[in-house]
Chains A and B, each alone.
Chain A
Amino acid sequence: MPKWITQVGCPYCGSSCDDLEVLVSDDGRKVLETRNACVIGNEIFHHASSPNRPTRPRMRQEDGTVKEITYDEAIDYTAKALLKAKKPLIYGFGSTNCEGMSAVGRVAEKAGAVLDNCASICHGPSFLAIFDNGYPSCTLGEVKNRADVVLFWGCNPMHAHPRHTSRYSIFPRGFFTTKGNMQRTIICVDPRETDTAKLADIHLMIDQGHDYELFDAFRTVLRGHDIPDVVAGIKKEQILEAAGKMKNGRFVMIFYGMGCCHTDGRNHNVDIAISTTRDLNSHTKASIMAMRGHYNIAGPGQVWSWQFGFPYCVDLSRGTHAHMNPGETSSIDLAMRDEVDCFVNVGTDAGAHFPIEAVRHLKKHPFITVDPNICMASEISDLHIPVRVVGVEEPGVVYRMDNVPIQFKKVIDGPDGVPSDEELFDKVYERMCELTETEPIWILNRGHAHGSSTAEQ
């Protein structure tokens, strides 16, 4: 009998929904149906059972074709490439679990590599702002239970985080928000009329690239000063109205996305967004949150902060200590300066996301992709190593966009012989130790056994 598995985590967007129900086949090897998932989440579960999925490492040959090799050969190649390189870069981690990130941390230390994650080309400006100004935030349940004014700034959850508005931010009925969306004022700041903007009570159609000015106007108004008749293309009356809503709200929530942190001003936009939140706390309660893209892209920021002290751009090439200096140790900058002599792309698609110039430089040296699926990066790689799909075939801890850890279960078994990211990188580490004739350093007596939770009472 096929079996329904409940409270399944979804390995797609930063909403990290954990209320999915998945029907798996008798033999526990195939996903038949899902409930509660958005269209993209649903697709990920079905994709895992795709017959076209690679299940063995594929090594590029001199003639440009690829040949299947064994995992041991792939591990050996990766270990040697990392050891040989002077400044290897290990990048990605949008779509894997924290166990994998932790294992990669050990490899990177051994290799003297730079460790970086997708934040480098995504919410990196947010980190820069947080370094300067902090991060007054909350968990998404606070938004659901309390928020009566919700601002979406340069983000469009209706497309990018399909269930965000129904689970957390606009529609849900919470403890102090029993009337759901009827009780919430939605403000959207976006130059386009997005599907999120269409849901908003107030849509401020800002001039593109003028985010800083509009934040500045809000702060000015909140502090009781006058502003010009038009700021950032928005009429004064509209700004006063929106500011009034915020000031009189009981709990104000600001969600912002790439439209805020990757438009002109970048980290400065986030900085003043945080300052606006701080100012609002003199009047009422306010919080801010970055709309992180992937289900566990907050993960590397957490894991590497506790292991190395930095969330991204972690340069371990000095061998003695970790060093972070975005601009110097960030992936794109390293690649554009042609400083990287071995590239490992893990659980993301640098081939699709990096500027072509950066990819051209990276391609001069060993280029390895570790990912369950075929992607642009895997197709230009010297070596593609498939791994199990986290959240479908591999359990693990992931961090939702609000940095809440969620223990994702697995629903089906992975293809025979295909390792998890953690197992793969632990083997790469052990091989590196063999090659350098050193003892591996483990913190605990270890095993990979996990995924079972103590029975709930």
Chain B
Amino acid sequence: MAEIVIKNGFVIDPARKINGDVMDIAIRDDKIVEKVGSGAKEIDARGKVVMTGGVDIHAHVAGPKVNVGRLMRPEDKLFKSPNAQAPYRVESGFSIPSTFKTGYDYARMGYAFVMEAAMPPLHSPHVHEEIHDTPIIDQGALPVFANNWFVLEYLKNREIENTAAYTAWLLMATKGYGVKLVNPGGTAAWAWGLNCLTLNDPVPYFDITPAEIISGLIETNEYLGLPHSIHIHQNSLGTPGNYEITLDSFRLAEGVKANNRFSRDSVMHSTHVQFHSYGGDSWRNFESKAKEVMDYINGQKNITVDLGCVTLDETTTMTADGPFEHHLNQLNHLKWANTDVELETAAGVVPYVYDKDIKVCGIQWAIGLELGLYAKDPMRTFITTDHPNAGPFIRYPRIIKWLMSKKAREETLESMKYTDKVIDATDIHSLDTERTLYEIAQMTRAGPAKALGLSHIFGSLAPGMEANVVVYDLNFNDMPDDPEQIERAFLRSSNFIKSGDIVVKDGDIVSHGNKRTFWVNAKVKENPQVIRDIHEKFLKEYTVGLGNYTVWDCLAPNPYVIDIDVEA
């Protein structure tokens, strides 16, 4: 029995409304407990901030498109890989780090759980192989559903029960966590080189609209009572004027009630809203509509969002939104990878440079932060960069700095070539809001844990919770004048205890801990039609046998399975 006590830190635990109280946090084995014996190992956190481990709701960290990015971008490694920290594995890459570096970097920042945001079902063994090779952090993965032939055919006929039976089967077969939608219908259209740019564009051949797909999958998700709501990347990403489509998609959730036993209130998680909050009708008069979008979210309690902040780096964009990557490639003419996946989805990868001296990039940067500042409910607004699309995840501390310090925002704004134009097209210059550590803990821990239906183990330091405790070198009562110190503290934690193992000390990895793979096993009534359809499609259209499709247990050797009995 291993006991640890983290003594005298300023504890910030929004789930229990604790804001900077000096307390001890006690750990026995992998759980937080009320108190431990005198023999417990002591960690002194005096003068430092103590939070629970971070929860990342959306990042592309494992799987085929991430790996295509790594493969095709040797330049992402050149002079950008840190030296290995002996005796641990070598670390490679900046925007698309190797699996080892991914695990280590998240741990250094005090993150305990990361959700891989888009898993092509056919490639799920690949996703799990990478998760297997990502040390320390717990992970789950969201299979993509919104362009899947089964789903399109069932939803066209409004067959929610069949969609649900198929969804449950696919979650089991891929060891998936929830229902991801990427450019509903648009990616299916891309298989013929087309797209669905509005919610009412019919999908070629399938004759269903994006709006019908979204509504149908919301209904399916609540029918099953999954821990997470649907997780949607909306149509028309990254296009000037797309905020209206964004608001239209939000409206599809109006009046829908969450049905689950995981204390989740939301029925829609809208991801990387920065890319969906654009005004104007061209890049010339491109402007922020962050206020309009956030005003709606503030009033609509059953939607959660993550920001997808642009970090002004050279990065690698990658998404199952195949037509968007082709479009982006037509803009920047850099290298372009694409993978269309039979019957299921597609993906594209294009490198991108968010240059602070380009007006559009400056405005994008401002929009992400405006959303974070306009949000009235930090429990429903989460910090992400849509890693690596708007920037790498190791910039989360920088976003925290910008959100917490107007001074830091102004410094960045001032350093731009087109400061005035960025100010004209956004509200960033006039926003004086500075987020507190308490709100940051909501936006990176308590909030995402609740939205994922994991608030019973993550997102809080209450006794009984998973023993994920991180110590940051920040004095709650005497926050630094220099915002850089905020970034530095969040980038390399003083201590991080993951599931009861001390994995980081003074910003360095000291253990590989004990990572787990989270997936959801929803048991539904046997559905002969769906079973028949699955067999038939594998016989006729797939090029992989059904018997070789289901992910082996050994690829997720440390599973955390959430069982749901839908019949009960």
The residues of A with any CB-CB pair to B shorter than 8 Å are 6-7, 9, 18-19, 98, 102, 109, 127, 130-142, 144-146, 167-168, 174-176, 250-251, 278, 281, 284-285, 287, 301-303, 305-311, 316, 319-322, 324, 397, 399, 403-409, 438-439, 441-447, 449-454, 456-457
Whether A316 pairs with B90 at a CB distance below 8 angstroms is yes
Most chain-A CB neighbours within 10 Å: which of B73, B76, B547? B547
The 7 closest A-B pairs by CB, nearest first: A141-B342, A450-B554, A309-B92, A134-B335, A285-B193, A138-B340, A7-B545
Q: Are A175 and B338 touching (Cβ within 8 A)? A: no
Whether the Cβ atoms of A309 and B339 lie closer than 8 Å is: no
Q: Kindly count the residue-residue contacts between A and B in the assembled complex, taking CB atoms under 8 Å apart.
A: 243
- Which residue of chain A is the closest to B554 with respect to CB atoms? A450
Report whether A322 and B546 are in contact in the complex, using a CB–CB cutoff of 8 Å: no
CA distance A456 to B547 in the complex (A): 7
Nearest-CB residue, chain A, relative to B338: A136
Residues of B near A132 (CB, < 8 A) are: 335
In the complex, which residue of chain A has the Cβ closest to the Cβ of B193? A285
Query: A102–B98 Cα gap in the complex (Å)?
Result: 13
Residues of B within 8 A of A320 (CB): 83-84, 90
With A450-B552, A454-B172 already in contact, 6 other A-B pairs whose C-beta atoms are closer than 8 Å: A141-B122, A141-B341, A145-B541, A307-B89, A443-B135, A457-B172
Residues from chain B with a CB closer than 8 A to the CB of A174 are 540-541
Other-chain residue from A18, A309, A441, A449 in contact with B544 (beta carbon distance below 8 A) = A18
Q: Could you say which of B108-116, B123-131, B176-184 contacts chain A?
A: B123-131
Closest to B91 in A: A321
Q: Is the CB of B98 within 8 A of A453?
A: no
Chain B neighbourhood of A7, CB < 8 A: 545-548
Stretch at the interface among B64-72, B255-263, B281-289, B371-379: B64-72
Contacts of B412 in A (CB 8 A): none
Contact B558 A444 (CB under 8 A): yes
Q: Which residue of B lies closest to A303 (CB)?
A: B129
Chain B residues positioned under 8 Å from A403 (CB to CB):
64, 68, 123, 126, 339
Total count of chain B residues near the partner, CB < 8 A? 84
In the complex, A141 Cα to B89 Cα: how many Å? 37
Cβ-defined contact, B81 with A321, below 8 A:
yes
Interface residue ranges of B60-101 to A (CB < 8 Å)? 62, 64, 66-68, 70-74, 76-77, 81-84, 87-93, 96-100
Of the candidates A133, A278, A310, the one whose C-beta lies within 8 Å of that of B74 is A310
Chain A residue with Cβ nearest B330: A282
* Residue interface mask B112-145, A partner, CB < 8 A = 1: 0000000000110110011011110000000000
Q: Which of B73, B76, B342, B552 contacts A145 (CB 8 A)?
A: B342
Asked if B548 contacts A457 (CB within 8 A), the reply is no
Residues of B within 8 A of A142 (CB): 191, 340-342
Task: Give the complex CA separation of A451 and B554 in angstroms.
Answer: 7
Cβ-based interface call for B438 (8 A): no
Name the distance in Å between A116's Cβ and chain B's nearest Cβ.
15
Determine if A139 and B340 form an interchain contact, defined as CB atoms under 8 angstroms apart. Answer: yes
17 contacts between A and B (CB under 8 A): A134-B336, A135-B338, A138-B338, A139-B122, A139-B339, A141-B541, A145-B541, A278-B329, A281-B326, A287-B340, A309-B96, A309-B98, A322-B90, A403-B64, A405-B126, A406-B544, A454-B551
Given A102-B133, A131-B72, A305-B71, A453-B543 contact (CB < 8 Å): no
Q: What residues of chain A lie closer than 8 Å to B87, measured between beta carbons?
A: 438-439, 441
Residues of A within 8 A of B77 (CB): 309-310, 322, 324
Given the complex, which residues of B lie within 8 Å of A457, measured CB to CB? Answer: 169, 172-173, 531, 534
Per-position contact with A for B443-459: 1 when CB-CB < 8 Å, else 0?
A: 00000000000000000
Tell me the complex Cα distance, A439–B86, Å: 11
Give the distance in Å from the alpha carbon of A429 to the alpha carbon of B191 in the complex. Answer: 45
B555 at the interface (CB under 8 A from A): yes
From A131, A139, A319, A397, B129 is in contact (CB under 8 Å) with: A397
Residue of A nearest to B346 (CB): A138
In the bound complex, do residue B342 and residue A321 qualify as a contact, i.e. CB atoms below 8 Å apart?
no
Q: How far does the alpha carbon of A333 sit from the alpha carbon of B551 in the complex, in Å?
A: 39
CB contact between B547 and one of A139, A141, A453 (< 8 Å): that residue = A453
The reply to whether A18 and B548 form a contact with Cβ atoms under 8 Å apart is yes
Given A141-B541, A144-B543, A145-B541, A308-B90 contact (CB < 8 Å): yes
| Most chain B CB neighbours (cut-off 10 Å) among A136, A403, A446, A450 | A136
User: B558, A9: Cβ atoms under 8 Å?
Assistant: no
Residue in B96, B133, B343, B545 whose CB lies within 8 Å of A141: B343
Q: Do B336 and A309 touch (CB < 8 A)? A: no
- With A405-B129, A444-B558 as given contacts, are A308 and B193 in contact (CB-CB < 8 Å)? no
Measured in the bound complex, the distance between the Cα atoms of B350 and A278 in whole Å is 13
The reply to whether B191 and A146 contact each other, CB–CB distance below 8 Å, is yes
Contacts of A285 in B (CB 8 A): 191-193
Any A CB within 8 A of the CB of B337: yes
Q: Which residue of B341, B547, B558 is within 8 Å of A445 (Cβ)?
A: B558
Please encode chain B, from 290 to 332, with 1 for each CB lying within 8 Å of some chain A CB and 0 for all others.
0000000000000000000000000000000000001001000
Chain A nearest CB, measured from B530 CB (Å)? 9
User: How many angstroms from the CA of A442 to the CA of B541 in the assembled complex?
Assistant: 40
Determine the distance from Cα of A393 to Cα of B551 in the docked complex, in whole angstroms.
20
A366 to B548, CA, bound (A): 40
Kindly report which residue of chain A lies nearest to residue B527, judged by CB atoms.
A457
Nearest to B93 among chain A residues (CB) is A309
- Is B406 interfacial (CB 8 A cutoff)? no
A133 to B72, CA, bound (A): 8
A278 to chain B, nearest CB (A): 7
Q: Which of B130, B205, B550 contacts A453 (CB 8 A)?
A: B550
Q: Any chain A CB within 8 A of the CB of B481? A: no
